[in-house]
Amino acid sequence: MDKSYRAVMSRKNEIMKSSVGIDYSEFERDGIVFDYEELMTKTAPDISEVAEIQKEAGVGCTPLVELKNISRLVRSHAKKGHGAHIFVKDEAASLSGSFKDRRASLSMYVAKDRGFDGVIAATSGNYGAAVASQAARRGLKCIVLQETFDSRGMGQPEILEKGRACESYGAEVIQLSVGPELFYYLLRLLEETGFFNASLYTPYGIAGVETLGTEIVNQCREQLGRDPDHVVVTHAGGGNLTGTSRGLKKAGADKCKIIAASVELTGLHMASDTDFNKKSFTTGHTGFGVPFAVAPDRSDVPRNAARPLRYMDKYVLVTQGEVFFATEILARLEGMQRGPAGNTSLAAAIALARELPEDEVMVVQETEYTGAGKAPSAQLTFAKNQGIEVMRGDPRKLDSPGERIVIPQDFSQFSYKEIPMNRLRTSYLKRLLTEGKESFTDQEMQFLSEELHTDSWTIKRIIEEESRNG
């Protein structure tokens, strides 16, 4: 069989269908419409069954912890009567140390149930360790593909740390340089091995996270006698936000606001060899967060089950320095050494909670394990070695991704920048117009209303404005 890049890519739909076990064409409708809810309900188990699968696999039921010292500090820097209570869902208590165990547990169950001998995951993050851990429990072989190095052979300490974690669970780790070859090698290996594609973006990966949302609601009701008012989610590819939001809604927390948080890395190109090692965060940043929000089907499956714009109420950005500072504060004030990705939402929560009434409850939706390569000291040392300046000061005035990391001088300098939701909706719709879509049927307008979490009037207004602008 022809193994050239062009030949393998031409077979991608066939390879994906056999390695995931889902016929996505079954859910396609007229025009741009596909039946998202039917995709989820027909392919993934019910949430109660997912909870049982995860319980058997040692996943879930992580503690909800009130950050009492941080909450008091927030109130001391807020105007009278403000400063929401901050809680954190401590997913670092999971087997491999992150919420990704939830995504992996269901995918490994499906792979084993369908008779696959092994699984393959393409990831530079915690998901690889989660897949390796859950594959070990199921007796499955595991291959993890990592985008690790730039052309100089330099690898970020965080990525290398995660590679070691994958190997510790018995996975074979294949490390590649940044570029399009990751997807090519994923397809080749899936075809050659016949293994299951443990993609982050299948319905299994999203349904596995729904239990995280339901647990947050149930634990808030048990501990506080009420639902959370706000849940802050670190946003990258969208699966974390999508799954958690669906779980919150299934538990009846319909009034809870979903806030997405990413590290602002504007100006750095995620696929650029020269920019690859200029960022200190391998996930939870705008290089993933914005593209996956406005073009979710850019993933490694025909239809992405992560649809963040369907659930997002607000999208805020924090700086790298603020996340490093939040990581230190969490360790020094609460005795919790966690991070770094989960602390992106913590940094945002600190700034957001200051603006909210003191009787409201804000939940930081996850933590993750830390390690030698993930610690701020390792990341900042690596940044300095790449010629990036590290300094103290006001991040909003001085931060410059790829050139300067600015760590706040004091607690009052935590802040955030908000991306207007209509800007994201406009980007989504502009892409359709650019692709030649000139008009939309009633069925398509209904789909877009669900997809963009807004009314048809807003969608029509944006389309009209973009059409006038050419």
Query: Based on the domain organization, do 274 and 385 belong to the same domain?
Result: yes
Query: Based on the domain organization, do 283 and 410 belong to the same domain?
Result: yes
Query: Based on the domain organization, do 368 and 438 belong to the same domain?
Result: no
pLDDT at position 120 is 97
Strands of the sheet with 172-177, listed across from one edge: 172-177, 141-149, 118-122, 196-197
pLDDT in tens, 320-378: 999 999 999 999 999 999 988 899 999 999 999 999 999 999 999 999 999 888 899 99
pLDDT at position 469 is 80
Query: Based on the domain organization, do 120 and 217 belong to the same domain?
Result: no
Query: Based on the domain organization, do 198 and 313 belong to the same domain?
Result: no
Tokens standing for residue 155: 């690898």
Domain that includes residue 460, residue range = 425-468
pLDDT in tens, 22-76: 999 999 999 999 999 999 999 999 999 999 999 999 999 999 999 999 999 999 9
Query: Based on the domain organization, do 74 and 182 belong to the same domain?
Result: no
Of 203, 235, 263, which residue constitutes the final position of a domain?
A: 203
pLDDT in tens, 277-289: 999 888 899 999 9
Distance CA 184, CA 202 (A): 19
pLDDT at position 179 is 80
Instruction: Report the 10 Å Cβ neighbour count for 202.
Output: 31
Provide the pLDDT confidence category of residue 470 given band limits of 50, 70 and 90. Answer: low
Query: Given a cut of 90, is residue 181 above it in pLDDT?
Result: no
Query: Based on the domain organization, do 64 and 49 belong to the same domain?
Result: no
Query: Based on the domain organization, do 305 and 240 belong to the same domain?
Result: yes
Query: Based on the domain organization, do 233 and 329 belong to the same domain?
Result: yes
Of 185, 203, 221, which residue constitutes the final position of a domain?
A: 203
| Structural domain total, the chain | 3
Q: Chain-wide mean pLDDT for the chain?
A: 95
Q: Indicate which CATH number applies to the domain containing 120.
A: 3.40.50.1100
pLDDT in tens, 400-454: 999 999 999 999 999 999 999 999 999 999 999 998 888 999 999 999 999 999 9
Query: Based on the domain organization, do 437 and 363 belong to the same domain?
Result: no
pLDDT in tens, 78-123: 999 999 999 999 999 999 999 999 999 999 999 999 999 999 999 8
Tokens standing for residue 305: 């089950």
Query: Based on the domain organization, do 229 and 318 belong to the same domain?
Result: yes
pLDDT at position 330 is 97
pLDDT at position 182 is 87
Backbone angles phi, psi at 127, to 5 degrees: -60, -35
pLDDT at position 298 is 86
3-state secondary structure the chain: CCCCHHHHHHCHHHHHHHHHCCCHHHHECCCCCECHHHHHHHHCCCHHHHHHHHHHCCCCCCCEEECHHHHHHHHHCCCCCECCEEEEECHHHCCCCCCHHHHHHHHHHHHHHCCCCEEEEECCCHHHHHHHHHHHHHCCEEEEEEEEECCCCCECHHHHHHHHHHHHCCCEEEEEECCCHHHHHHHHHHHHHCCEECCCCCHHHHHHHHHHHHHHHHHHHHHHCCCCCEEEEECCCCHHHHHHHHHHHHCCCCCCEEEEEEECCCCCCCCCCCCHHHCCCCCCEHHHHHHHHHCHHHCCCCCCCCCHHHCCCEEEEECHHHHHHHHHHHHHHHCCCCCCCHHHHHHHHHHHHCCCECCCEEEECCCCCCCCCCCHHHHHHHHHHCCCEEEEECHHHHCECCCEEEEECCHHHCCCEEECHHHHHHHHHHHHHHCCCCCCCHHHHHHHHHHCCCCHHHHHHHHHHHHHCC
Distance CA 394, CA 371 (A): 28
Tokens standing for residue 241: 């936000």
pLDDT in tens, 295-305: 999 888 889 99
pLDDT in tens, 161-176: 999 999 999 999 999 9
Query: Given a cut of 80, is residue 4 above it in pLDDT?
Result: yes
Query: Based on the domain organization, do 285 and 401 belong to the same domain?
Result: yes
Of 141, 173, 203, which residue constitutes the final position of a domain?
A: 203
